[in-house]
Amino acid sequence: MNSLPKSLPDLNNLSLAEQVAQMVVVRASGYLFDHQIQYPIWEPPAQQLQRWLQELGIGGVILLGGSAVELALRSKQLQEWAKIPLLIAADIEEGVGQRFAGATWFPPPMALGAIAQNDPEPALQYVRTMGEITATEALAIGINWILAPVVDVNNNSQNPVINVRSFGDNPQIVSQLASAFIEGTRPYPVLTTAKHFPGHGDTATDSHLDLPILPHSPPRLATVELPPFTNAIAAGVDAIMTAHLLITAWDDQHPATLSERILTQLLRTDLGFEGLIVTDALVMGAIANRYGADEATVMAVEAGADILLMPVNPETAIEAVCQAVEQGRISRQRIQASVERISRAKRKVGYHSQREGLDEHSTAQQIASLQNPLSQQ
């Protein structure tokens, strides 16, 4: 195997195509072998994935499937393949064990929100510890980007996609518990993510399938949907994931993921967020079925997204964004701003440890040694 760089290169020195590739996060199986792939539509075989990481310089992967010990091997393999150290993400809203067998699996956030209604202090401590254990276990198996907490205020009982993933229907409780989770992760070199901006809780449509519409007025949005995000920003959240929904009061033409008014004006300027803006998965029907796979990636970058999560075709997505830059539709400075934010994020997670610090032989023992106070109550 060719020797690999031991440190993060200066991303400012990359070609345009390499910089855009750093903005792309692809889906990959958590298993080591192709015959174990569970979702072949989204998860490429090893040869293709290795080429994306080595030749294109893809910036990150999101993993699903396998045990915690298998994932330690898998994440090490992916980092060895990578041209540039990776962000390795997972949807671990209920702890690492939610996705990877052998690690801690916590109750759904809504259960913790229910506890907080009557007994807030223990609930806050529970969630703070949940964040700490999730960060510790994630790092033990090579995950450096936690796609949690969900900060949507779930005040629609018919919500088919958020539901128990939310801390509940009270903006104050959601804000407090989400901030506690972020605080619990703070001592550890991992990224956290508040989602789904600017609020996916009051919808009855699944954005995996179609485009939800949120018809509320700006005052209502400011008092219900936005407070958990402003509190998460104050707590130091590293990334904010966008929502694939139409908020007519702010932009009646573009869903939030593709709206410059919402991502750049509201989130960046009005709320002062300086971290990563990551799209929700671009393969989801609300976006891919309406705007076209490659056009959606260009529109997301125009709107202000730094990370393109799961574009339908990563190679053509990179080409489309590069073409938009060459044609003057997107400025090179716009790409540069995202690359600088990605570089800061990768420096925070400690790229040295992600390449060299994983020891698959001790992973199971490390996870087993952790104490979960929630299970001791």
pLDDT at 377: 52
pLDDT at 364: 52
CB 300 within 8 A of CB 258: yes
Q: Which residues contact 74 (CB under 8 A, 6 or more apart)?
A: 29, 30, 31, 32, 63, 66, 142
Transcribe 342-368 into DSSP letters: HHHHHHHHTHHHHHH---HHHHHHHHH
Residue 280 among the catalytic residues: yes
Respond yes or no on whether the N-terminal peptide bond of residue 149 is cis (omega within 30° of 0): yes
Residue 200 among the catalytic residues: no
| Interval 302-340: pLDDT, tens | 999 999 999 999 999 999 999 999 999 999 999 999 999
pLDDT at 208: 83
pLDDT at 369: 53
Residue 239 amino acid letter: A
Q: Which residues contact 371 (CB under 8 A, 6 or more apart)?
A: none
CB 98 within 8 A of CB 122: no
- Burial of 1: CB neighbours in 10 Å, binned 0-12, 13-18, 19+: exposed
Structural domain boundaries of the chain?
Answer: 11-370
C-beta pairs of 363-369 under 8 Å, 24+ apart in sequence:
363/68, 363/69, 363/72, 363/140, 363/141, 364/68, 364/69, 364/102, 366/140, 367/68, 367/96, 367/102, 367/103, 367/104, 367/137, 367/140, 367/141
| Interval 12-52: pLDDT, tens | 899 999 999 999 999 999 999 999 999 999 999 999 999 99
pLDDT at 118: 93
Q: How far apart are CA 107 and CA 353, in angstroms?
A: 30
Q: How far apart are CA 222 and CA 89, in angstroms?
A: 30
Q: How far apart are CA 109 and CA 105, in angstroms?
A: 11
Q: Which two tokens stand for residue 207?
A: 């954005």
Which has the closest alpha carbon to 220: 238, 243, 202, 193? 202
The CATH superfamily of 11-370 is Glycoside hydrolase, family 3, N-terminal domain (3.20.20.300)
Q: How far apart are CA 140 and CA 362, in angstroms?
A: 9
pLDDT at 357: 46
Q: How far apart are CA 307 and CA 205, in angstroms?
A: 24
CB 1 within 8 A of CB 285: no
Beta strands in the chain (DSSP E): 24-29, 60-64, 87-90, 145-146, 193-197, 213-214, 239-242, 246-247, 276-278, 308-309
SS3 call for 171: helix
pLDDT at 365: 55
Written as tens digits, the pLDDT of the chain (377 aa) is: 333 444 788 888 999 999 999 999 999 999 999 999 999 999 999 999 999 999 999 999 999 999 999 999 999 999 999 999 999 999 999 999 999 999 999 999 999 999 999 999 999 999 999 999 999 999 999 999 999 999 999 999 888 889 999 999 999 999 999 999 999 999 999 999 999 999 998 887 778 878 889 999 999 999 999 999 999 999 999 999 999 999 999 999 999 999 999 999 999 999 999 999 999 999 998 898 899 999 999 999 999 999 999 999 999 999 999 999 999 999 999 999 999 999 999 999 986 444 444 454 454 555 555 555 555 55
Q: How far apart are CA 365 and CA 140, in angstroms?
A: 10
Give the global pTM: 0.92
Q: Which two tokens stand for residue 269?
A: 């300027």
pLDDT at 272: 98
DSSP state of 374: G
Of the residues 34, 206, 208, 210, only one is catalytic, namely 208
Of the residues 280, 294, 352, 361, only one is catalytic, namely 280
